């Protein structure tokens, strides 16, 4: 069953006298329990897309159009008060630095309880305490974390608290935006394997935003490749890893993130992202594409639909290239 359906979504940031097209005519569906990885280098529009689903983009400076349909409801039509019933309860998010929004001077447990009570105002003390015990267990944290302060936690423990917070109200969809990127490889691996276990148990669908293809390959069923605000390839991980069709996907699969992370140069793809504040006549990837032809300079490719729900935005995708 389709949980989330994004249709022709556009997000434009209005800054000074510029319009930055951060998300450009993006459409795709997420089926229940189909973990989806969204990949692309820094500046591709991944976080913008995530924030738009949660309606967390600044209202004054952004223009969002299209449809974001969650369980049959277009989230873009909802009022702030209606959104209260969706955010955290139905859709939640974990950021790389989610813990930054917690206070360093209050104990973790009391803050978790306060957050829980925001949506469960009538919960008794015992009920809240039980819920917190259950949540800490869920994310493999010792109970003593309840009485600890933020500065006493390791990076991995902090992300576990963030994940516990995101699962607090049993959401159907959880969005993780570079949530494990800052962790060492071993901790990242542990948390990722725990999450994939948990989501099966709790019936949660996950969107995993990352610049790291290996994270998606290891933990997701489907993949959405974004480049400069465009969805350039979409489909099952197994199909795309074995036979990437878009030259950008091919390049991503050849490159590895540097130790410093997201802003590293991609091996296999030279050049950098185009200016998102100017309109491009041809293919958005043309300036960096080694396989481009005449047509790519003049004509924006449409999305080619292939077998197995696969989509590719490239002039050569339909042929035997």
Ligand X SMILES: Nc1ncnc2c1ncn2[C@@H]1O[C@H](COP(=O)(O)OP(=O)(O)O)[C@@H](O)[C@H]1O
Residues of the shown chain interacting with ligand X in the complex, contacts defined by CB under 6 A: 13, 15, 20, 22, 40, 42-48, 276
Residue number, 45 or 156, with CB nearest to ligand X: 45
Residue with tokens 């991609």: 266
Residue number, 47 or 188, with CB nearest to Mg ion: 47
The nearest distance, CB 262 to Mg ion, in angstroms, is: 8
Positions that interact with Mg ion (CB under 5 A): 47
Structure-block tokens of residue 80: 């702030």
Binding partner of residue 43 among ligand X, Mg ion, none, CB cut-off 5 to 8 Å per kind:
ligand X
Binding partner of residue 164 among Mg ion, ligand X, none, CB cut-off 5 to 8 Å per kind:
none
Binding partner of residue 13 among Mg ion, ligand X, none, CB cut-off 5 to 8 Å per kind:
ligand X
The nearest distance, CB 258 to ligand X, in angstroms, is: 15
Residue number, 243 or 272, with CB nearest to ligand X: 272
The nearest distance, CB 154 to ligand X, in angstroms, is: 25
**Long-range contacts of the stretch 273-279 (C-beta < 8 A, 24+):** 273/41, 273/43, 273/44, 273/227, 273/228, 274/228, 276/20, 276/21, 276/22, 276/43, 276/228, 276/229, 277/18, 277/19, 277/20, 277/21
**Long-range contacts of the stretch 255-259 (C-beta < 8 A, 24+):** 256/214, 257/211, 257/212
Residue number, 46 or 206, with CB nearest to ligand X: 46
| Three-state DSSP class for residue 204 | coil
The nearest distance, CB 288 to ligand X, in angstroms, is: 16
The nearest distance, CB 24 to ligand X, in angstroms, is: 11
The nearest distance, CB 211 to Mg ion, in angstroms, is: 8
Q: How far apart are CA 55 and CA 116, in angstroms?
A: 21
Binding partner of residue 245 among ligand X, Mg ion, none, CB cut-off 5 to 8 Å per kind:
none
| Cα-trace Rg, the chain | 20
Binding partner of residue 276 among ligand X, Mg ion, none, CB cut-off 5 to 8 Å per kind:
ligand X
Residue number, 45 or 109, with CB nearest to ligand X: 45
Name the burial class of residue 81, with classes exposed (0-12), middle (13-18) and buried (19+) by CB atoms within 10 angstroms of its CB.
exposed
Residue number, 178 or 286, with CB nearest to Mg ion: 178
Q: Are strands 222-227 and 205-210 parallel, antiparallel or unpaired?
A: unpaired
Residue number, 47 or 52, with CB nearest to Mg ion: 47
Binding partner of residue 118 among ligand X, Mg ion, none, CB cut-off 5 to 8 Å per kind:
none
The nearest distance, CB 92 to ligand X, in angstroms, is: 18
- Cβ distance 30 to 226 under 8 Å? no
Binding partner of residue 237 among ligand X, Mg ion, none, CB cut-off 5 to 8 Å per kind:
none
Name the burial class of residue 162, with classes exposed (0-12), middle (13-18) and buried (19+) by CB atoms within 10 angstroms of its CB.
buried
Q: How far apart are CA 143 and CA 132, in angstroms?
A: 9
């Amino acid at each position: 069953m389709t949980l989330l359906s994004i249709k022709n979504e556009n997000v434009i940031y209005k800054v000074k006298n510029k319009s930055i097209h951060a998300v450009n005519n993006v459409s795709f569906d997420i089926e229940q329990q189909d973990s989806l990885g969204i990949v692309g280098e820094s500046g591709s529009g991944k976080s913008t897309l995530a924030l738009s689903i949660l309606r967390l983009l600044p209202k004054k400076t952004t223009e969002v159009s299209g449809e974001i349909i969650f369980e049959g409801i277009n989230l873009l039509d909802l009022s702030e008060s209606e959104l209260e019933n969706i955010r955290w309860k139905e859709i939640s998010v974990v950021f790389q630095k989610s813990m930054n929004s917690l206070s360093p001077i209050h104990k973790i447990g009391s803050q978790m309880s306060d957050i829980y009570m925001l949506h469960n105002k009538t919960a008794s003390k015992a009920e809240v305490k039980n819920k917190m015990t259950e949540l800490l267990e869920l994310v493999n944290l010792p109970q003593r974390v309840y009485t600890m302060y933020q500065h006493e936690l390791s990076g991995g423990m902090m992300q576990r608290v963030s994940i516990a917070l995101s699962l607090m109200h049993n959401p159907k969809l959880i969005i993780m935006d570079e949530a494990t990127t800052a962790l060492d490889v071993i901790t990242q691996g542990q948390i990722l394997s725990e999450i994939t276990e948990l989501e099966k148990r709790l019936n949660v669908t996950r969107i995993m935003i990352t610049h790291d293809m290996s994270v998606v390959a290891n933990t997701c069923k489907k993949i959405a490749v974004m480049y400069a605000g465009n969805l350039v390839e979409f489909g099952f991980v197994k199909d795309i890893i074995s036979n990437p069709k878009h030259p950008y996907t091919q390049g991503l699969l050849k490159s590895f993130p540097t130790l410093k992370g997201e802003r590293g140069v991609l091996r296999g793809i030279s050049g950098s992202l185009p200016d998102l504040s100017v309109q491009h006549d041809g293919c958005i990837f043309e300036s960096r594409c080694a396989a481009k032809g005449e047509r790519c300079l003049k004509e924006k490719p449409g999305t080619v639909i292939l077998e197995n729900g696969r989509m590719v935005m490239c002039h050569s995708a339909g042929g035997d290239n």
